[in-house]
Structure 1
Amino acid sequence: MRKTWVLLVSLLLVVSTASADIDNFRTAKQKLKEEVYFDQARGSEGTFYCGCDWRWVGESGGRVNRASCGYETRAQENRAERTEWEHVVPAWVMGHQRQCWQEGGRRNCRSSDPVFRVMEADPHNLVPTVGEANADRSNYQFGMIPGEPRVYGQCDFEVDFKERVVEPRPEVRGRIARTYFYIHDRYNLRMSRQQQQLMMAWHKEYPVTAWERERDARIARMVGHNNPFVTGEKSWRLGHKNSGAGLKGIAGGMQTKAGVEPEGSIIIRGNRNSKIYHLPVGCPSYDRISSHNIVKFVTEAEARAAGYRKAGNCR
């Protein structure tokens, strides 16, 4: 009887551990290395944006084999040598729709908002990338860039820094779409119509792969739930009604910022008096414009066409 009881308790502990969301970014990275990507560093799909092999170093990082994918450094040698964990849906996209972000940015959200901590650490949204590609992606939205302006050697990863747009390689576009669906549905985030249409097109053109299914299954064993857009349990259509499943049972789950713009839509603010525009990241005065003076733009090109110039204090 005692052995049976011990076995039952052990099984319950395993189930309870596997069905709990992770609320620590560091822990998520470690578990992804140990339980999901442990056999993916060489001879597999490689790093997310460029398909490079790597070797594990430390708790959750890696050293990139740039020759394996023909990667050429654009500007940041140190970050080009290492892997980093990329949020497919950027932390800014998830955070700026939370009240905590308006009161102190990412650091404040980490310390005060349990929902943000779960979103930031959600393994379904994390992938290993070349660090420089992670840095250059920043919080830019995904899109299609005319031509093939490659600056990373053979890596098919394109960045339009002026328009703040990234075009990923075709092999990962479907995965990006299904991750966007998942994060927005699970945490009740708003997505612009334009971004929805792009993701729906990518989802249709690039179906679920065998590795994507395997990755999803491994993560589900960690956290207790799949990405339903990978398994086919859910589909996304324009006007999709979010489930908000990831907010249930978490204190402060519904404390979103009222009136926030959808991800991928209006993110640039111009000052109608000064004719200067500010970006949400790198421009200290972005949140200092009086509400009655704010003019909103989708792209920097649109702002410049309207006669606005970029703030001089933007980094």
Structure 2
Amino acid sequence: MVPLTQQTSIDACLAEQIRRACILEATARKPGNVHPEAAFADLTWHDFVLSAEAVAPVLARTRELGVGRATRDAVLATRQRVSTNTNLGIILLIAPLAAVPTSLRLVDGIGAVLAGLSLSDTEMVYEAIRLAQPGGLGKVPDQDIQDRPTQGLVNVMKLAAERDLIARQYVENFSLVLNFAVPYLASVPDFATRWEPALIGLQLELLSRHRDSLIRRKCGAVVADEASRRARQVLQTAADGLPFASAAIAEFDGWLRGDAHRRNPGTTADLIAASLFAAMREGVVPAPADWAGVQHKAQQAPLVEN
């Protein structure tokens, strides 16, 4: 058994990594997403900061609580701080990763965590999703979120994996996070000073390869495919070294923010937050050189939602 003082230290370390990952993801000025200089009508950067503060200590205890309960409790903690769904996808992604024993690498331990998920986990995750009230879920004939589940969590996620990138991570041992995104972040030269362009680059790389699930739910597959095509176009512009790469990013940002922000690539942002946590947990990226400034700005967030 891990001594209490040691376990407390582990939980505190995980909580800080989760908090930093969530805040940094929301702070990077990624096309289409909320950040300190771009809000939605019902959602601001401070909402994400408050949400990060709320969920970090809960998710850090996932190994003790179990994935299902930690997911539900993290959503409950978020709802006590903000009035809208800011982080359900982040919670669903980070909870299993945080459950991996810290003595193991994530890629070596995630399989056992997923294999151990039960019907009880499914029931609590369903409760969490209903509490969070994400947009655009619709109705499905088998294991619908409004019904009582009858299968374990991984089996339920298999039913949604074709249309939902977060569900697919449960089926594929978090391959997109651990085998693509984390190595991408680890390969960034001078991540400490270039973390923001690194996160923007990761967003474009993910979008160029995978339909964003939130865009697909809200706008359909055709629009989600167009978002991926535009991301590939921006990457090609940057690869060609053209002087208007910044203009291409700005144009993409404007397009994503059209249609009342319905084209917000929110699932991709969730994957980035989880990947950042995983990279920090594995020790493959350094702390941002300007973290003190980010932290100071985050501390200006209101203590309660207005």
On whether the aligned pair clears a TM of 0.5, the verdict is no
Q: Which has the higher contact order (CA 8 A, sep 6+)?
A: 2
User: TM-score scaled by structure 2?
Assistant: 0.28
User: Which of the pair has more CA radius of gyration?
Assistant: 1
